[in-house]
Structure 1
Amino acid sequence: MEELNLTKRIKTASHGARKVRREGKIPGVIYGKEIGNEIFTVDESALLKETSASGEHGIVKFNLDGRKGNAVIKEIQRNALGNKAIHVDFEEVAANDTMHTEVLIKIVGKGILESKGLILQTQRDLVKVSCKAKDLPKDVELDVSNGQAGTVYTFKNLKFAEGIEVLDDLSTVIGSISEEEKAKEEETE
Protein backbone atom coordinates (compact mmCIF):
# COMPACT_ATOMS: atom_id res chain seq x y z
CA MET A 1 0.00 0.00 0.00
CA GLU A 2 1.58 3.22 -1.14
CA GLU A 3 0.93 6.60 0.41
CA LEU A 4 -1.49 8.90 -1.39
CA ASN A 5 -0.29 12.49 -1.47
CA LEU A 6 -3.20 14.84 -0.84
CA THR A 7 -2.90 18.59 -1.33
CA LYS A 8 -5.12 20.94 0.68
CA ARG A 9 -7.46 22.92 -1.51
CA ILE A 10 -9.11 26.24 -0.84
CA LYS A 11 -12.58 26.54 -2.30
CA THR A 12 -12.53 29.64 -4.50
CA ALA A 13 -15.32 29.43 -7.03
CA SER A 14 -18.17 27.07 -7.83
CA HIS A 15 -16.35 25.93 -11.00
CA GLY A 16 -13.00 25.39 -9.23
CA ALA A 17 -13.47 21.61 -9.16
CA ARG A 18 -13.71 21.51 -12.97
CA LYS A 19 -10.40 23.34 -13.23
CA VAL A 20 -8.82 20.82 -10.84
CA ARG A 21 -10.10 17.91 -12.98
CA ARG A 22 -8.68 19.47 -16.16
CA GLU A 23 -5.27 19.42 -14.43
CA GLY A 24 -5.52 15.62 -13.97
CA LYS A 25 -6.48 15.82 -10.31
CA ILE A 26 -9.57 14.68 -8.41
CA PRO A 27 -11.17 16.93 -5.77
CA GLY A 28 -12.13 15.30 -2.51
CA VAL A 29 -12.96 15.65 1.16
CA ILE A 30 -11.49 13.88 4.17
CA TYR A 31 -13.17 13.89 7.56
CA GLY A 32 -12.62 12.31 10.97
CA LYS A 33 -12.26 12.93 14.70
CA GLU A 34 -8.63 14.01 14.53
CA ILE A 35 -8.49 15.73 11.16
CA GLY A 36 -11.87 17.47 11.15
CA ASN A 37 -13.02 18.29 7.59
CA GLU A 38 -10.50 19.14 4.90
CA ILE A 39 -10.92 19.51 1.15
CA PHE A 40 -8.06 18.35 -1.03
CA THR A 41 -6.92 17.29 -4.47
CA VAL A 42 -5.26 13.98 -5.37
CA ASP A 43 -3.53 12.89 -8.56
CA GLU A 44 -6.02 10.91 -10.64
CA SER A 45 -3.56 8.19 -11.69
CA ALA A 46 -2.35 7.70 -8.08
CA LEU A 47 -5.95 7.34 -6.89
CA LEU A 48 -6.75 4.78 -9.62
CA LYS A 49 -3.62 2.79 -8.77
CA GLU A 50 -4.50 2.76 -5.07
CA THR A 51 -8.15 1.76 -5.61
CA SER A 52 -7.09 -1.11 -7.86
CA ALA A 53 -4.78 -2.31 -5.06
CA SER A 54 -7.02 -1.74 -2.03
CA GLY A 55 -10.51 -1.78 -3.56
CA GLU A 56 -13.11 0.96 -3.87
CA HIS A 57 -13.99 0.73 -0.17
CA GLY A 58 -10.53 -0.14 1.12
CA ILE A 59 -8.06 1.49 3.48
CA VAL A 60 -5.47 3.92 2.07
CA LYS A 61 -2.47 5.62 3.65
CA PHE A 62 -2.48 9.36 3.07
CA ASN A 63 -0.20 12.35 3.49
CA LEU A 64 -2.13 15.62 3.63
CA ASP A 65 0.52 18.34 3.46
CA GLY A 66 2.73 16.52 5.98
CA ARG A 67 -0.03 15.03 8.12
CA LYS A 68 -0.04 11.25 7.73
CA GLY A 69 -2.76 8.76 8.54
CA ASN A 70 -5.09 6.05 7.29
CA ALA A 71 -8.50 6.52 5.73
CA VAL A 72 -11.25 4.35 4.34
CA ILE A 73 -12.60 5.24 0.90
CA LYS A 74 -16.25 6.05 1.61
CA GLU A 75 -17.32 6.98 -1.90
CA ILE A 76 -15.94 7.64 -5.35
CA GLN A 77 -18.37 9.69 -7.42
CA ARG A 78 -18.20 9.06 -11.16
CA ASN A 79 -19.57 10.87 -14.17
CA ALA A 80 -22.42 9.20 -16.01
CA LEU A 81 -20.79 8.95 -19.42
CA GLY A 82 -17.24 7.74 -19.02
CA ASN A 83 -17.39 6.28 -15.51
CA LYS A 84 -14.48 8.63 -14.72
CA ALA A 85 -13.84 9.57 -11.08
CA ILE A 86 -14.96 13.15 -10.38
CA HIS A 87 -14.88 13.30 -6.55
CA VAL A 88 -13.69 11.15 -3.64
CA ASP A 89 -14.67 11.01 0.05
CA PHE A 90 -12.29 9.62 2.70
CA GLU A 91 -12.96 8.96 6.38
CA GLU A 92 -9.91 8.99 8.64
CA VAL A 93 -9.53 5.81 10.74
CA ALA A 94 -7.04 4.40 13.21
CA ALA A 95 -5.81 0.83 12.65
CA ASN A 96 -7.64 -0.46 15.74
CA ASP A 97 -10.90 1.43 15.12
CA THR A 98 -13.90 -0.82 14.56
CA MET A 99 -15.63 0.17 11.37
CA HIS A 100 -18.75 -0.69 9.42
CA THR A 101 -18.37 -0.70 5.65
CA GLU A 102 -19.08 -2.67 2.48
CA VAL A 103 -16.78 -5.22 0.87
CA LEU A 104 -16.90 -6.28 -2.79
CA ILE A 105 -17.95 -9.87 -3.51
CA LYS A 106 -15.56 -11.26 -6.13
CA ILE A 107 -17.09 -14.13 -8.12
CA VAL A 108 -14.62 -16.89 -9.03
CA GLY A 109 -15.35 -19.77 -11.43
CA LYS A 110 -17.92 -18.17 -13.76
CA GLY A 111 -16.00 -19.46 -16.79
CA ILE A 112 -16.36 -23.06 -15.60
CA LEU A 113 -20.13 -22.57 -15.22
CA GLU A 114 -20.41 -21.11 -18.72
CA SER A 115 -18.50 -24.06 -20.18
CA LYS A 116 -21.21 -26.32 -18.65
CA GLY A 117 -24.00 -24.24 -20.25
CA LEU A 118 -24.88 -22.58 -16.93
CA ILE A 119 -25.04 -18.93 -15.95
CA LEU A 120 -24.90 -17.12 -12.65
CA GLN A 121 -27.54 -14.46 -12.16
CA THR A 122 -26.25 -12.10 -9.47
CA GLN A 123 -28.36 -9.91 -7.23
CA ARG A 124 -25.75 -8.50 -4.81
CA ASP A 125 -22.10 -7.56 -5.27
CA LEU A 126 -21.41 -5.91 -1.87
CA VAL A 127 -21.73 -7.17 1.70
CA LYS A 128 -21.79 -5.02 4.87
CA VAL A 129 -19.19 -6.01 7.46
CA SER A 130 -17.85 -4.88 10.82
CA CYS A 131 -14.15 -5.25 11.61
CA LYS A 132 -11.01 -3.46 12.77
CA ALA A 133 -9.70 -1.10 10.09
CA LYS A 134 -6.44 -3.05 9.86
CA ASP A 135 -8.37 -6.28 9.09
CA LEU A 136 -10.57 -4.88 6.30
CA PRO A 137 -10.18 -7.09 3.19
CA LYS A 138 -10.15 -5.68 -0.35
CA ASP A 139 -12.83 -8.19 -1.34
CA VAL A 140 -14.24 -11.60 -0.45
CA GLU A 141 -14.24 -14.45 -2.96
CA LEU A 142 -17.23 -16.62 -3.76
CA ASP A 143 -16.27 -19.76 -5.71
CA VAL A 144 -19.16 -20.87 -7.95
CA SER A 145 -17.19 -23.36 -10.08
CA ASN A 146 -18.83 -26.42 -8.43
CA GLY A 147 -22.36 -25.06 -8.71
CA GLN A 148 -25.19 -26.72 -10.57
CA ALA A 149 -28.50 -25.52 -12.00
CA GLY A 150 -30.66 -24.46 -9.07
CA THR A 151 -27.77 -23.68 -6.70
CA VAL A 152 -28.43 -20.51 -4.70
CA TYR A 153 -25.60 -18.60 -2.99
CA THR A 154 -26.24 -16.47 0.10
CA PHE A 155 -24.06 -14.40 2.44
CA LYS A 156 -23.77 -17.59 4.52
CA ASN A 157 -21.53 -19.01 1.72
CA LEU A 158 -18.91 -16.26 2.15
CA LYS A 159 -15.73 -17.12 4.06
CA PHE A 160 -14.17 -14.27 6.04
CA ALA A 161 -11.12 -14.21 8.29
CA GLU A 162 -11.61 -14.26 12.05
CA GLY A 163 -12.65 -10.89 13.47
CA ILE A 164 -14.85 -9.91 10.51
CA GLU A 165 -18.58 -9.97 11.15
CA VAL A 166 -21.23 -9.86 8.42
CA LEU A 167 -23.86 -7.24 9.29
CA ASP A 168 -26.32 -8.19 6.53
CA ASP A 169 -28.86 -10.99 6.94
CA LEU A 170 -26.95 -14.22 6.20
CA SER A 171 -29.88 -15.59 4.16
CA THR A 172 -29.67 -12.69 1.66
CA VAL A 173 -29.25 -14.09 -1.87
CA ILE A 174 -26.06 -13.16 -3.75
CA GLY A 175 -26.98 -15.07 -6.90
CA SER A 176 -28.32 -18.27 -8.37
CA ILE A 177 -27.30 -20.64 -11.14
CA SER A 178 -29.63 -21.52 -13.98
CA GLU A 179 -29.35 -23.19 -17.35
CA GLU A 180 -28.45 -20.82 -20.14
CA GLU A 181 -31.47 -21.58 -22.36
CA LYS A 182 -34.01 -21.11 -19.57
CA ALA A 183 -32.47 -17.75 -18.73
CA LYS A 184 -32.70 -16.64 -22.38
CA GLU A 185 -36.36 -17.68 -22.55
CA GLU A 186 -37.16 -15.66 -19.38
CA GLU A 187 -35.43 -12.59 -20.88
CA THR A 188 -37.48 -12.75 -24.09
CA GLU A 189 -40.77 -13.09 -22.23
Structure 2
Amino acid sequence: MVQVVKVKASSRTEHGSKAAKKLRKTGMVPCVIYGHKESAVSLSASHDELMKIVKHGVRLVDLETDGKIEKALIRDVQWDYLGNDVIHVDFSRVSADEKIHITVSLELKGTAPGLLAGGVLDMPMHSIHIECLVINIPDVIRVNVSELQVGGVIHVKQLVAPEGVKFLADEDAVVVQIVSAKAEVASTMPPELGAAATEPEVIKKPKPVADDEE
Protein backbone atom coordinates (compact mmCIF):
# COMPACT_ATOMS: atom_id res chain seq x y z
CA MET A 1 0.00 0.00 0.00
CA VAL A 2 1.20 3.49 -0.82
CA GLN A 3 2.78 5.53 1.96
CA VAL A 4 0.56 8.37 3.22
CA VAL A 5 2.15 11.31 5.04
CA LYS A 6 0.41 14.13 6.87
CA VAL A 7 1.29 17.63 5.68
CA LYS A 8 0.22 20.78 7.48
CA ALA A 9 -0.70 23.78 5.35
CA SER A 10 -2.30 27.19 5.75
CA SER A 11 -4.60 29.05 3.39
CA ARG A 12 -3.18 32.23 1.83
CA THR A 13 -4.78 35.23 0.21
CA GLU A 14 -1.79 37.04 -1.29
CA HIS A 15 -0.84 36.07 -4.84
CA GLY A 16 1.69 37.03 -7.46
CA SER A 17 5.46 36.66 -7.80
CA LYS A 18 6.28 39.30 -5.17
CA ALA A 19 4.02 37.64 -2.60
CA ALA A 20 5.48 34.21 -3.43
CA LYS A 21 9.04 35.50 -3.07
CA LYS A 22 8.20 37.08 0.28
CA LEU A 23 6.57 33.83 1.43
CA ARG A 24 9.61 31.74 0.50
CA LYS A 25 11.86 34.00 2.58
CA THR A 26 9.88 32.89 5.65
CA GLY A 27 10.63 29.21 4.95
CA MET A 28 7.26 28.48 3.36
CA VAL A 29 6.33 27.31 -0.14
CA PRO A 30 3.28 28.47 -2.11
CA CYS A 31 0.94 25.59 -3.01
CA VAL A 32 -2.49 25.03 -4.50
CA ILE A 33 -5.09 22.27 -4.12
CA TYR A 34 -7.83 21.60 -6.68
CA GLY A 35 -10.11 18.86 -8.00
CA HIS A 36 -13.35 17.02 -7.19
CA LYS A 37 -15.29 19.93 -8.71
CA GLU A 38 -14.36 22.15 -5.78
CA SER A 39 -12.74 25.55 -5.98
CA ALA A 40 -8.96 25.76 -6.10
CA VAL A 41 -7.48 26.96 -2.82
CA SER A 42 -4.12 28.70 -2.46
CA LEU A 43 -2.01 27.33 0.38
CA SER A 44 1.42 27.53 1.94
CA ALA A 45 3.41 24.72 3.54
CA SER A 46 6.80 24.27 5.19
CA HIS A 47 9.70 24.21 2.73
CA ASP A 48 11.65 21.68 4.82
CA GLU A 49 8.65 19.39 5.19
CA LEU A 50 7.89 19.44 1.46
CA MET A 51 11.53 18.87 0.52
CA LYS A 52 11.64 15.84 2.80
CA ILE A 53 8.54 14.13 1.39
CA VAL A 54 9.36 14.94 -2.24
CA LYS A 55 12.90 13.55 -1.94
CA HIS A 56 11.47 10.37 -0.39
CA GLY A 57 9.12 9.94 -3.34
CA VAL A 58 5.89 10.44 -1.38
CA ARG A 59 2.91 10.79 -3.73
CA LEU A 60 -0.13 10.69 -1.44
CA VAL A 61 -0.65 12.96 1.58
CA ASP A 62 -3.24 13.83 4.18
CA LEU A 63 -3.28 17.59 3.76
CA GLU A 64 -4.37 19.39 6.92
CA THR A 65 -5.45 22.95 6.19
CA ASP A 66 -6.83 25.13 8.97
CA GLY A 67 -8.12 22.06 10.82
CA LYS A 68 -9.58 20.36 7.71
CA ILE A 69 -7.95 17.14 6.45
CA GLU A 70 -8.13 16.18 2.76
CA LYS A 71 -6.48 13.28 1.01
CA ALA A 72 -4.42 14.73 -1.83
CA LEU A 73 -2.05 13.61 -4.54
CA ILE A 74 1.14 15.53 -5.33
CA ARG A 75 0.49 16.32 -8.99
CA ASP A 76 3.27 18.74 -9.83
CA VAL A 77 6.43 20.03 -8.19
CA GLN A 78 8.25 23.12 -9.45
CA TRP A 79 11.95 23.57 -8.69
CA ASP A 80 14.25 26.56 -8.80
CA TYR A 81 16.48 27.01 -11.85
CA LEU A 82 19.27 25.01 -10.20
CA GLY A 83 16.94 22.14 -9.38
CA ASN A 84 17.80 22.30 -5.68
CA ASP A 85 14.75 23.82 -4.00
CA VAL A 86 11.01 23.24 -4.27
CA ILE A 87 9.32 26.55 -5.10
CA HIS A 88 5.70 25.45 -5.74
CA VAL A 89 3.55 22.33 -5.31
CA ASP A 90 0.23 21.38 -6.88
CA PHE A 91 -2.05 19.02 -4.95
CA SER A 92 -5.20 17.38 -6.33
CA ARG A 93 -8.02 16.11 -4.15
CA VAL A 94 -8.57 12.34 -4.26
CA SER A 95 -10.50 9.67 -2.38
CA ALA A 96 -9.15 6.29 -1.27
CA ASP A 97 -11.47 4.33 -3.59
CA GLU A 98 -10.77 6.52 -6.63
CA LYS A 99 -9.01 5.20 -9.74
CA ILE A 100 -6.41 7.55 -11.16
CA HIS A 101 -3.92 7.75 -14.01
CA ILE A 102 -0.37 8.47 -12.91
CA THR A 103 3.21 8.06 -14.11
CA VAL A 104 5.54 5.81 -12.11
CA SER A 105 9.29 5.32 -12.47
CA LEU A 106 10.79 2.06 -13.77
CA GLU A 107 13.62 0.44 -11.84
CA LEU A 108 15.89 -2.33 -13.14
CA LYS A 109 16.32 -5.43 -10.99
CA GLY A 110 19.20 -7.88 -11.32
CA THR A 111 22.26 -8.00 -13.57
CA ALA A 112 21.77 -8.74 -17.26
CA PRO A 113 24.06 -11.55 -18.53
CA GLY A 114 24.27 -9.63 -21.80
CA LEU A 115 26.18 -6.85 -20.05
CA LEU A 116 28.75 -9.32 -18.75
CA ALA A 117 29.11 -10.59 -22.32
CA GLY A 118 30.05 -7.12 -23.55
CA GLY A 119 26.62 -5.85 -24.56
CA VAL A 120 25.31 -2.32 -24.02
CA LEU A 121 22.16 -1.48 -22.05
CA ASP A 122 19.58 0.58 -23.93
CA MET A 123 16.60 1.75 -21.85
CA PRO A 124 14.29 3.99 -23.91
CA MET A 125 11.55 3.91 -21.25
CA HIS A 126 12.30 5.23 -17.75
CA SER A 127 8.72 5.63 -16.52
CA ILE A 128 5.30 4.25 -17.36
CA HIS A 129 1.73 5.55 -17.24
CA ILE A 130 -0.58 3.39 -15.11
CA GLU A 131 -4.13 3.18 -13.78
CA CYS A 132 -4.82 2.13 -10.20
CA LEU A 133 -6.64 2.99 -7.01
CA VAL A 134 -5.11 5.85 -5.05
CA ILE A 135 -4.18 3.49 -2.22
CA ASN A 136 -2.40 1.13 -4.65
CA ILE A 137 0.07 3.56 -6.23
CA PRO A 138 3.41 1.69 -6.39
CA ASP A 139 6.65 3.47 -5.52
CA VAL A 140 8.27 2.03 -8.66
CA ILE A 141 7.69 -0.69 -11.24
CA ARG A 142 10.59 -3.16 -11.15
CA VAL A 143 11.91 -4.67 -14.38
CA ASN A 144 13.75 -7.99 -14.00
CA VAL A 145 16.72 -8.10 -16.39
CA SER A 146 18.50 -11.08 -14.80
CA GLU A 147 17.93 -13.23 -17.92
CA LEU A 148 18.45 -10.57 -20.59
CA GLN A 149 21.09 -11.61 -23.13
CA VAL A 150 22.67 -9.64 -25.99
CA GLY A 151 19.88 -9.06 -28.49
CA GLY A 152 17.25 -9.59 -25.81
CA VAL A 153 14.34 -7.17 -25.44
CA ILE A 154 11.73 -6.58 -22.73
CA HIS A 155 8.44 -5.04 -23.89
CA VAL A 156 5.68 -3.50 -21.80
CA LYS A 157 3.57 -6.65 -22.20
CA GLN A 158 6.31 -8.63 -20.42
CA LEU A 159 6.29 -6.46 -17.30
CA VAL A 160 4.73 -7.81 -14.12
CA ALA A 161 2.08 -5.40 -12.86
CA PRO A 162 1.53 -5.14 -9.09
CA GLU A 163 -1.90 -6.15 -7.88
CA GLY A 164 -4.54 -3.62 -8.88
CA VAL A 165 -2.28 -1.86 -11.40
CA LYS A 166 -2.97 -1.60 -15.14
CA PHE A 167 -0.34 -0.45 -17.63
CA LEU A 168 -1.59 2.20 -20.08
CA ALA A 169 1.47 2.28 -22.35
CA ASP A 170 1.61 0.50 -25.73
CA GLU A 171 2.15 -3.18 -24.90
CA ASP A 172 4.69 -3.53 -27.72
CA ALA A 173 6.78 -0.55 -26.60
CA VAL A 174 10.41 -1.39 -25.77
CA VAL A 175 11.27 -0.93 -22.10
CA VAL A 176 14.88 -2.13 -22.10
CA GLN A 177 17.19 -4.14 -24.35
CA ILE A 178 20.78 -5.30 -24.60
CA VAL A 179 22.46 -4.47 -27.90
CA SER A 180 25.89 -5.48 -29.12
CA ALA A 181 28.63 -2.91 -28.68
CA LYS A 182 29.20 -2.92 -32.46
CA ALA A 183 25.54 -2.14 -33.14
CA GLU A 184 25.62 0.66 -30.57
CA VAL A 185 28.63 2.27 -32.27
CA ALA A 186 26.99 1.96 -35.69
CA SER A 187 23.76 3.55 -34.44
CA THR A 188 25.63 6.60 -33.13
CA MET A 189 27.79 7.07 -36.22
CA PRO A 190 26.84 10.02 -38.48
CA PRO A 191 25.24 8.86 -41.77
CA GLU A 192 28.07 10.26 -43.89
CA LEU A 193 30.66 8.35 -41.85
CA GLY A 194 28.60 5.20 -42.00
CA ALA A 195 28.38 5.48 -45.78
CA ALA A 196 32.11 6.07 -46.02
CA ALA A 197 32.75 2.97 -43.94
CA THR A 198 30.55 0.74 -46.11
CA GLU A 199 31.44 2.16 -49.52
CA PRO A 200 35.20 1.91 -50.18
CA GLU A 201 36.71 4.60 -52.34
CA VAL A 202 37.52 3.47 -55.87
CA ILE A 203 40.89 4.73 -57.07
CA LYS A 204 41.09 4.81 -60.83
CA LYS A 205 44.40 4.47 -62.67
CA PRO A 206 45.11 7.70 -64.57
CA LYS A 207 44.95 7.47 -68.34
CA PRO A 208 48.29 7.90 -70.17
CA VAL A 209 48.68 11.27 -71.82
CA ALA A 210 49.55 11.05 -75.54
CA ASP A 211 52.50 13.09 -76.86
CA ASP A 212 51.54 16.11 -78.94
CA GLU A 213 51.99 15.60 -82.68
CA GLU A 214 54.75 17.63 -84.27
TM class by shorter-chain length? 0.7 to 0.9
Counterpart in 2 of 1:85?
A: 86
- TM superposition shift of 1:3: 0.6
- Aligned-partner residue type, residue 2 of structure 1: V
Is the Cα–Cα contact under 8 Å of residues 28 and 87 in structure 1 kept in the other structure? yes
Counterpart in 2 of 1:96?
A: 97
Instruction: Map 1:131-146; keep pairs closer than 5 Å.
Output: 131-146=132-147
Counterpart in 2 of 1:8?
A: 11
Provide the TM-score with structure 2 as the length reference. 0.75
Provide closer, same or farther for how the CA distance between residues 157 and 22 of structure 1 changes in structure 2, counting only shifts above 3 A. Answer: farther
- TM superposition shift of 1:21: 2.5
Is the Cα–Cα contact under 8 Å of residues 113 and 144 in structure 1 kept in the other structure? no
Counterpart in 1 of 2:207?
A: none
Instruction: Map 1:152-171; keep pairs closer than 5 Å.
Output: 152-171=153-172
Instruction: Map 1:71-82; keep pairs closer than 5 Å.
Output: 71-82=72-83
Q: Which has the larger radius of gyration?
A: 2
Whole-angstrom distance in 1 between the partners of 2:117 and 2:154: 18
Q: Which has the higher strand share?
A: 1
Whole-angstrom distance in 1 between the partners of 2:72 and 2:107: 23
Moved over 6 A (4+): none
- TM superposition shift of 1:29: 0.9
Provide the TM-score with structure 1 as the length reference. 0.84
- TM superposition shift of 1:80: 3.5
- TM superposition shift of 1:157: 2.5
Counterpart in 2 of 1:127?
A: 128
Please identify, of 113-122 and 167-176, the stretch whose mean Cα deviation from structure 2 is larger: 113-122
Provide closer, same or farther for how the CA distance between residues 26 and 112 of structure 1 changes in structure 2, counting only shifts above 3 A. Answer: farther
Whole-angstrom distance in 2 between the partners of 1:164 and 1:172: 18
Which secondary structure state, in structure 2, belongs to the residue aligned with residue 150 of structure 1? coil
- Aligned-partner residue type, residue 50 of structure 1: I
Task: Give the RMSD, CA atoms, in angstroms.
Answer: 2.5
Is the Cα–Cα contact under 8 Å of residues 148 and 177 in structure 2 kept in the other structure? no
- TM superposition shift of 1:9: 1.7
Counterpart in 2 of 1:23?
A: 26
Unpaired segments ≥5 residues, structure 2: 191-214
Whole-angstrom distance in 1 between the partners of 2:41 and 2:102: 21
Which secondary structure state, in structure 2, belongs to the residue aligned with residue 15 of structure 1? helix
- Number of equivalences: 187
Unpaired segments ≥5 residues, structure 1: none
Counterpart in 2 of 1:51?
A: 54
- Sequence identity of aligned pairs in percent? 26
